[in-house]
């Protein structure tokens, strides 16, 4: 099966500094993959490279089996990118935001379609007509995920999804990710959160100083062991 996302011996230099070195991973369709690492490990850089905003200095990145550099627009059309702060308009309500961005993407949707997507992410109906500047981070994130669902993007790239969320919102986010994956979408999330990564992911890659130093997979019918990943994360020097 063609992977949804792939990094092949990816290396990258930013402002003369080596930021990624020989990073390789595969994310299969319908899989949740967490790229875990500390500050400055290269997680966001990896996402930006998959989106074609940064160019590899070595190796390549592929979306659905095609090198991103060969057709950046085709790659981006497959991807919904959720940056840490969801970029929606505070002076518009949820319906207006979704309508505006879907219009830009050339999608025609009805109010019923919007409500169905907002139901799916459990955004309370009474909030939907409120300006988004009054939303909590969790509510903004739900709206952004509803947008990704309505755009029908098969791949979601999510940057630090749970930072600043309360425990209930974190659980809701994890449930959404699992539901999206169960419906066949591929999710790559970058995070510092060992526990969350292990809860929700099929596989976890550990990035340290731009190198992938560990890869963890759940045994059949169980979750990835948080203790093992935490111990690897906490190691000071790369093996
Ligand atoms: N615009 C930039 N120009 C040059 N170097 C950058 C730039 N942005 C990030 N870097 C450097 O690239 C390295 C990786 O940064 P990146 O943002 O990918 O890390 P990260 O793992 O996402 O970190 P964090 O968890 O803190 O968000 C760091 O050393 C950082 O200083």
15 with 121, same domain: the answer is no
Do residues 108 and 93 lie in contact, with contact meaning Cβ atoms separated by under 8 Å? no
What ipTM was assigned to the predicted interfaces of this complex?
Answer: 0.96
**What atom in ligand 1 is closest to the CA of residue 46?**
18
Sign of CA dihedral 17, 83, 76, 43: positive
CA-nearest of 15, 7, 13 to 188 is: 7
72 with 161, same domain: the answer is yes
Token digits for 173? Answer: 């986010």
Eight-state DSSP code of residue 86: -
Q: Is the CB of 53 under 6 A from ligand 1?
A: no
41 with 144, same domain: the answer is no
pLDDT, one tens digit per residue, over 130-184 is: 999 999 888 888 898 888 888 888 999 998 888 877 888 888 888 889 988 998 9
pLDDT, one tens digit per residue, over 11-30 is: 999 999 999 999 999 999 99
Q: Please provide the size of the chain in residues.
A: 239
Could you tell me the residue range of the domain that residue 93 belongs to? 88-151
143 with 158, same domain: the answer is no
**What atom in ligand 1 is closest to the CA of residue 192?**
25
pTM: 0.89
Q: Is the CB of 52 under 6 A from ligand 1?
A: no
């Amino acid at each position: 099966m063609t992977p949804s996302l792939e990094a092949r011996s990816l290396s990258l230099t930013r402002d003369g500094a080596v930021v990624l070195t020989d990073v390789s991973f595969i994310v299969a369709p319908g899989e949740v993959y967490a790229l875990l690492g500390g500050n400055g490990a290269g997680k966001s850089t990896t996402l930006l490279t998959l989106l074609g905003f940064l160019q590899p200095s070595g190796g390549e990145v592929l979306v659905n089996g095609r090198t991103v550099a060969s057709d950046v627009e085709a790659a981006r059309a497959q991807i919904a990118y959720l940056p840490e702060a969801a970029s929606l308009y505070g002076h518009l309500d949820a319906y207006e935001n979704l309508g505006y961005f879907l219009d830009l993407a050339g999608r025609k949707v009805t109010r019923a379609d919007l409500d169905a997507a907002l139901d799916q992410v459990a955004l309370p109906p009474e909030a939907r007509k409120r300006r988004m500047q009054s939303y909590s981070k969790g509510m903004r994130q739900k709206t952004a995920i509803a947008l990704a669902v309505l755009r029908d993007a098969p791949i979601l790239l999510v940057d630090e999804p749970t930072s600043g969320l309360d425990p209930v919102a974190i659980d809701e986010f994890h449930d959404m990710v699992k539901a999206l994956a169960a419906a066949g979408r591929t999710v790559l999330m970058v995070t510092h959160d060992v526990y969350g990564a292990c809860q929700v992911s099929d596989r976890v890659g550990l990035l340290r100083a731009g190198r992938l130093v560990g890869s963890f997979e759940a045994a059949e019918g169980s979750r990835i062991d948080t203790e093992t990943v935490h111990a690897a994360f906490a190691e000071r020097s790369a093996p």
